[in-house]
Amino acid sequence: MNSIDYKNILVAVDGSEEAEWALKKAIYLAKLSDATLVLTHIVDTRNFPTIEAYDMTLRERSDAFANELLEKYKMEAVASGIVHVQTEVAYGSPKVQIPKDLAKKHSIDLIVCGATGLNAVERFLIGSVSEGIVRHSSCDVIVVRTNTDK
């Protein structure tokens, strides 16, 4: 395998600016190696039992947001020339779902994610999502910090 010859690239998106930067980088890399691009959004359900007691529609709104976001990014990837694009909404902890469950399910050999996301609490804590992905992944990981596609 060539150093940039990835076959299955997973990019985690949450609607944040840095996730969009990660998408641009993933599209660039997928074009270089004619890879399948797997777009995912993780609905973090760790707090749902508490929140759903007050807001019964939270799960439906989360699903709608995830599906709209992934469809938008899929159209962007296809418009950029990516032939093979898959999307998946997953539920649970992003730190577990991305590097363990989804990476295995899709035979991922590269994960691309933003350095920070929309979750301000996780950004503040040492145990951020991107750190969890790097720590628990068995494949290459690129953590994107800049707005460039190369």
What is the CATH class of 8-144? alpha beta
pTM of the model: 0.84
- DSSP structure class, residue 98: I
Please state the domain extents for the chain. Answer: 8-144
Q: CA 24: distance to chain centroid?
A: 12
Bridge partners, residue 39, by sequence = 11, 87
Q: Counting beta carbons within 10 angstroms of the beta carbon of residue 98, is it exposed (0 to 12), middle (13 to 18) or buried (19 or more)?
A: buried
Distant-in-sequence, close-in-space partners of 38: CB < 8 Å, separation ≥ 6: 8, 9, 10, 11, 85, 86, 87, 88, 102, 106, 108
Amino acid sitting at position 119: N
- When pLDDT is cut at 50, 70 and 90, the band that residue 126 belongs to is very low
Reported as a single tens digit per residue, the pLDDT across 55-104 is 657 777 888 899 999 999 999 999 999 999 999 999 888 888 999 999 99
Q: Is the pLDDT of residue 123 over 80?
A: no
More confident residue, 75 or 150: 75
Going from the C-alpha of 19 to that of each of 61, 145, 146, the distances in angstroms are: 20, 9, 10
- DSSP structure class, residue 58: H
Q: CA 55: distance to chain centroid?
A: 26
